[in-house]
Structure 1
């Protein structure tokens, strides 16, 4: 009799827990449907792409950036010049002026040194879309395969056939 009572109690407990655990069914597609978000993103991207060339054209003619672009960039030769350039670029990125941040990102992109990668990554998160675009173009040369270290150039392991 004890086994029958324990089995019945277990069955009642399972039914109660199953009944309490059920939630009203929601359709999975309704909760994960992102078409409206994608449509908003496409519309905003279209606005940015249409307005970007106008912003570039407005900034270039009369600003100090136009005069700086006419002179070719000379990379620093000594370590003191390199440190000085890095410091100036960081200070320009700390300024609130989007024109200075844009110029700092462009100079960092022209320089192409690995020490400006943190500055370019910071430019990717900037509020101004022109700075973000310039940082993305500048960081493009650093994407891809890294230089192989001596350990990576070594011969493959003996059991390469098992790895394939």
Structure 2
């Protein structure tokens, strides 16, 4: 298993998005795309699933029964757009999760000793305390810092 900084699993985002379009995008923190895919799913249902011809349901169980009855005998023309939205939402979530992981790994500088990402404000690795070469320390450049050089006070 490869270690990524985001720790997001692309397959989990795809599975979540397949069951509820937009949920996998919430998992990978793509908020706008999540809302877009959820809107696509709702639009597909509203446009292609016919409304039940029964009267208004008075109870919650009656509404649930009416919704289940409406979806029992749907033709392929009504189901196909819904399945297409679900499939493409899952593919998009998987693709986004794959694209985000390598970009985050490449941005962070890694310690030459332990290979973990290091904080850019420190001049040593916070994991193994190895001094990092060519880093600016609190007193300027870490190379050639001799306390006796350049500290003479001229009068």
Identify whether the pair has TM-score above 0.5, normalized to the shorter chain. Answer: no
TM-score by length of 1: 0.20
Structure with a larger share of its residues in helix: 1
What TM-score, normalized to structure 2? 0.21
Larger radius of gyration: 1
